[in-house]
Structure 1
Amino acid sequence: MTRAFGRPLAALALVAALGPAGCTGEAPEPAPTTTEQPSASAADPSVAPSAAPTAAAPVLVPGGSAQQNLPFFAQVVSGVWSGPDQVSGRAYIDALTAAGFDKSAMQVTADYSTIGNAAESIEFAVRLGDQCLVGQVGPSIGDPVTTVLPGLSSGGCLIGQTRTIDW
């Protein structure tokens, strides 16, 4: 064998030897593992099995921080997003007000552009102390986004033009 053919032939032999290694058939499925836990009802039939613990639904924490109230804020926003008024700023403000947030501490951007097109996204916020709960929704966003941001020195939460909440 000449040197010119030796290296490519060796590489080809290596590929041929290793190639089928990944094609040896399906791997056997692992046997399911089970963990037996003693049941109170098995030992004592009069004891009913208890339900698995569930996380408590978030609630408004009056006087709480923005961070403490973020889970509840996100839940309210998600509820509106699941309904027919997904891109209606008023729907979010009304739902947040009904949930107990202070309407006078809220801001919302317009639902429509200055030329009358539906907004690609809207933002709304609730000021709590020196921080803000901020939500953003709309067709360009996907799922709602909620977060805590520092409040602005002007006293608001949102930069730019917001609409008057006069309802």
Structure 2
Amino acid sequence: MERTVLPSWIQQAPPKWGIPASGKLSADEYKVICSIHLVVTLIRVWGYENEEGPQSWPFQMLLNFLDLVHSIHVLFLRETSTKLWAYYKVQILKYLRTVLELFPDVTLALNHHLAVHIVNDLEYLGPGHARSTPVFERINHRLQEIKKNGHQGKHALECTFQYTDDPR
């Protein structure tokens, strides 16, 4: 990560993102880690053929992760088209099929199902950046910082609905 040169418009991920002291990652930090840093790292760790060749489990895991990265990349673009919708759908379905092959005991979650329907969002609502909500993410983060003990107090309702810089 230290040697990776990122364009100026991409936010650097925290250097020690895997430890609790680094705190929660933002959506942008997850995006950078998963689409850049993990790609480089996993190719170095899992990408070289071993005695089993390209059929090895780590290599298949790498290919599966890259299918996910390819599909998500379409969602980050600032434009969309019928070709991109089709590409996204092929990649996300390939990713999900391979998840089930690699992990036969896993049951797909609702998010996996919804990921297939993002094609409809791209078609009817346009590129993902047009409906991105970083402002709301910051507000949610501030709301999570509010100290609370689970009991309703005299001003609990007012504190919930009034956004202030004082996270009491």
The structure with the largest strand share of the pair is 1
- Does the alignment reach a TM-score above 0.5? no
TM-score between the two structures when normalised by the length of structure 2: 0.25
> TM-score scaled by structure 1?
0.25
